[in-house]
Chain A
């Protein structure tokens, strides 16, 4: 009798480049994000190495029973295949965006996939927030763009907190739990250097200058976050971050009416969900203590959040 256990799956970062290239040009690369499965195909130059860098701990899968999102990143036909080359994002036969320069295939994949997630995963309430977990409970970090959410989420994920997502607070309104949408954390401009200084050992992918959002780079999710990507977590607390130059760290309680607006009206699909979304937000506001975090020093901000977590009932 054969008592062998399941065959271990290699990680994307450990696989020979030729195998990843073959997958992308063939039946695809399946990336399990937790709440969704992404299937990627295409011939975009440089994408293989970029994926191996920022999804390095994700399992290397070339087939699966299901994918929620089917994406192709490809060079267009015609002149732009060679002259100032571009790449296009295609999903389910549609090209929803303008082409990107060919050397920005990864940012195009990441932003395009985020857009698809926001459109498709309507069995979940998708808050626009970072989400990290410790002790089985989540800290939800909803924020407007430019507030420092991704920088703080990245730093927390490098400080003993499990990353679920830097973009989507994916709340299951039936189970009333948060689910991971585990993609690399997108860092922009000055925050790239902030994270490099904060954690020199952190694995950052290549930098892409001159994108529409400036220079972007991606922090790969660590092995533990990937291993636990299917593990849901209960709501814990809501923290609205705001980076403010020179500010001492302040953690101030927020009134329920402020929190309701911050998470409902900033969610990707609140209106789509109707009463289900309304009930879910009411539940979160009533369940989770909420705070505004104003900070300039990342390490100090994280220390305050660690203290908060130790005090949570």
Chain B
């Protein structure tokens, strides 16, 4: 199962009600909402596969995992395409 991580050097700065995010990989800049930035913040702690992302976010914001999955479906393609998040290969099997 692939893991995802925040692209090194990604910049995120608060801009009013939104956040400006810059990817050094793609050179793209996006204006993101809190949900997308929460994903980036999580992934800045270390790479993790999608199920773990869902589980952690659900726990952090005290929402059902199903709701988080729906949110991810909406925001995930955008932050991947913008080069803010990258795939880092297979996660190590748990011991």
Decide: B16 and A275 in contact? CB cutoff 8 A. Answer: no
Interface residue B61 (Cβ < 8 Å from any Cβ of A): no
Question: Do A278 and B15 contact each other (CB < 8 Å), given the known contacts A260-B20, A260-B31?
Answer: no
Question: Do A257 and B31 contact each other (CB < 8 Å), given the known contacts A275-B22, A282-B20?
Answer: yes
Partner of A256, one of B11, B16, B27: B16
How many chain A residues sit at the interface, stated as a range, is 10 to 19
Decide: B31 and A278 in contact? CB cutoff 8 A. Answer: no
Partner of B11, one of A255, A258, A275, A285: A275
Interchain nearest-CB distance for B18 vs A (Å): 4
Decide: B17 and A255 in contact? CB cutoff 8 A. Answer: yes
Decide: A257 and B15 in contact? CB cutoff 8 A. Answer: yes
Q: Which residues of B in the span 25-76 have a Cβ within 8 Å of any Cβ on A?
A: 27, 29, 31
Interface residue A274 (Cβ < 8 Å from any Cβ of B): yes
Question: Do A282 and B24 contact each other (CB < 8 Å), given the known contacts A260-B31, A261-B31, A264-B29?
Answer: no
Interface residue B93 (Cβ < 8 Å from any Cβ of A): no
Interchain nearest-CB distance for A281 vs B (Å): 8
Partner of A255, one of B16, B20, B24, B29: B16
| Chain A residue, CB-CB nearest to B22 | A278
- Distance, CA A255 to CA B17, complexed state (A): 8
Interchain nearest-CB distance for B34 vs A (Å): 12
Residues in chain B near residue A271, CB distance under 8 A: 27
- Distance, CA A134 to CA B56, complexed state (A): 52
In the complex, per-residue mask of A228-267: 1 if CB is within 8 Å of any chain B CB, else 0: 0000000000000000000000000001111011001100
In the complex, per-residue mask of A144-160: 1 if CB is within 8 Å of any chain B CB, else 0: 00000000000000000
Residues in chain A near residue B11, CB distance under 8 A: 275, 278-279
- Distance, CA A256 to CA B27, complexed state (A): 21
- Distance, CA A256 to CA B16, complexed state (A): 5
Chosen A-B contacts, 22 in total, with CB atoms closer than 8 Å, are: A255-B17, A256-B16, A257-B16, A257-B18, A260-B15, A260-B20, A260-B31, A264-B20, A265-B29, A271-B27, A274-B22, A274-B24, A275-B9, A275-B11, A275-B22, A278-B13, A278-B20, A278-B29, A279-B11, A281-B20, A282-B20, A285-B15
